[in-house]
């Protein structure tokens, strides 16, 4: 019988932040360690259904970019680092929740992603 050895990783220290939802500052504070940001949006009218939107670069992770590309709403961003070949996944730093004012219209891209994921 094979026993699987557990690999233990040390968590990177979280950068200091003045506000827990300041996504731009948090991603910038990780610097070159942050390689990609996964974006999720809370489905309208629900409190627990998150719709996957996209993987964006840390450079693109600004409120203006997200608001113009996806519209207003409640978001989660998962900040990821380098690929870890031993664990076969990207290094996870943290998840940040934030909101964008509803005055930004939900875009066609967001509506299409919402429809396609609700059909599953």
Reported pTM = 0.79
pLDDT class of 14 with cuts at 50, 70, 90:
confident
DSSP classification of residue 60 = G
Give percent of the chain above pLDDT 90: 49
Which range of 62-66, 81-85, 86-90 scores highest in mean pLDDT? It is 62-66
Do the strands 73-84 and 36-42 form a parallel or antiparallel pair, or are they unpaired?
Answer: antiparallel
Residue ranges of domains in the chain: 23-118
The mean of the pLDDT values for the chain is: 85
pLDDT class of 48 with cuts at 50, 70, 90:
confident
**34, 58 Cβ separation under 8 angstroms:** yes
CA 57 to chain CA centroid, nearest Å: 10
How high is the pLDDT of residue 114? Answer: 83
Alpha carbon distance 28, 68 (integer Å): 20
Maximum C-alpha span of the chain: 59
**75, 99 Cβ separation under 8 angstroms:** yes
């Amino acid at each position: 019988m094979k026993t699987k050895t557990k690999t233990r990783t040390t968590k990177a220290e979280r950068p200091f932040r003045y506000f827990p939802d300041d996504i731009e500052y948090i991603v910038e504070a990780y610097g070159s360690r942050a390689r990609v940001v996964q974006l999720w949006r809370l489905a309208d009218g629900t409190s627990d259904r998150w719709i996957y939107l996209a993987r964006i670069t840390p450079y693109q992770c600004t409120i203006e970019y997200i608001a113009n590309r996806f519209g207003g709403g409640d978001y989660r961003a998962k900040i990821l680092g380098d690929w870890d070949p031993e664990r076969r996944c990207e290094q996870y730093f943290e998840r940040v929740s934030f909101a964008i004012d509803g005055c930004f219209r939900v875009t066609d891209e967001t509506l299409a992603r919402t429809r396609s994921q609700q059909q599953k």
